Amino acid sequence: MFLSALYWLVCACSEHSKIMLPPIENEQDLQKLMYIPGGTYWIGSDNDTQDEAPRHEVSISPFYIGHTEVTNINFAQFLNDRRHKDIDVRKWIALGKDIPRGGMISFTGTRYRANYGYEDHPVIGISFFGATAYCKWAGLRLPSESEWEIAAQGGERENIYPWGDASPKGKANYGKKWRKSSHNPPTTPVGQYSENGYGLVDMAGNALEWTKSPYIPYETEIMTENLRASLDGRRVLRGGGFDANEHELRITFRRAYYERVRSYLTGGLGFRCVRDVDPS
């Protein structure tokens, strides 16, 4: 079939052209999902922390990833769909009653709702279990850290940040502090900043994002010892949050938290979901 009839696009990436598919809409939660082409990519860095080394090649299959981070209104919809199940949602999210500063999703006694004015902010205070449960409900999954980093690159092999090498000023929500006197987190509505080369927004700042990857070092020679240490349940998070500094906004920056952590104060702890490309 002629490619244009399928609305395929060609993206000129750093090494060679890749066939691109248009965005799709996920049926369950109406998320917009952007296409990431499969192939062999470089991830990691030899120029910063040991945690990011060595720079190495990985191969991935094509996938779709959320245009934005999952929002409060998205997650409230999920909780309402699950509210009649025998589930302790406190394992998934820190609600307002759990956190003195107040959550951005509240339970009214009959329904969960996103707090007024924060409907389109990224959901935060989410545990790894909560992120995984949401993605499963939506018919999706969490990205691996390799998939996340490749998506953040935007098709450019040497980018420092999702938008390129320019200063983050005006390009991401970062460097914020959540003051004790405030009940409102310093997040911003999703999509307030420009897209990267794959059409993704907020891949740096606003909320740290869970991945499905266990936290283990890249260096295989030291993997055995560190893998043993990682069995306490740490998973990799990417992207930096509202409290990140410029260094933590870099594409290659890695952070790890325990799966059960539901925190507003450590970068927000949010996520976005991935969908595998139908092999047919």
Whether the Cβ atoms of residue 206 and residue 230 lie closer than 8 Å to each other: no
Asked if residue 225 belongs to a domain, the reply is yes
CATH of the domain at 121: 3.90.1580.10
Asked if residue 3 belongs to a domain, the reply is no
pLDDT one-digit tens code per residue, 43-75: 999 987 778 999 999 999 999 999 999 999 999
Does the structure show a pLDDT above 80 at 219? no
Range of the domain at 84: 25-276
Nearest to 255 by CA among 21, 65, 243, 81: 243
Asked if residue 264 belongs to a domain, the reply is yes
The highest-confidence range among 5-9, 85-89, 107-111, by mean pLDDT, is: 107-111
Confidence of residue 104 (pLDDT cuts 50, 70, 90): confident
Whether the Cβ atoms of residue 104 and residue 115 lie closer than 8 Å to each other: yes
Based on its alpha-carbon atoms, the radius of gyration of the chain, rounded to whole angstroms, reads 18
Confidence of residue 159 (pLDDT cuts 50, 70, 90): very high
Give the global pTM.
0.89
Per-residue pLDDT averaged across 207-219, rounded?
Answer: 90
Does the structure show a pLDDT above 70 at 96? no
Per-residue pLDDT averaged across 235-260, rounded?
Answer: 94
The highest-confidence range among 97-101, 104-108, 173-177, 204-208, by mean pLDDT, is: 204-208
Asked if residue 13 belongs to a domain, the reply is no
Asked if residue 19 belongs to a domain, the reply is no
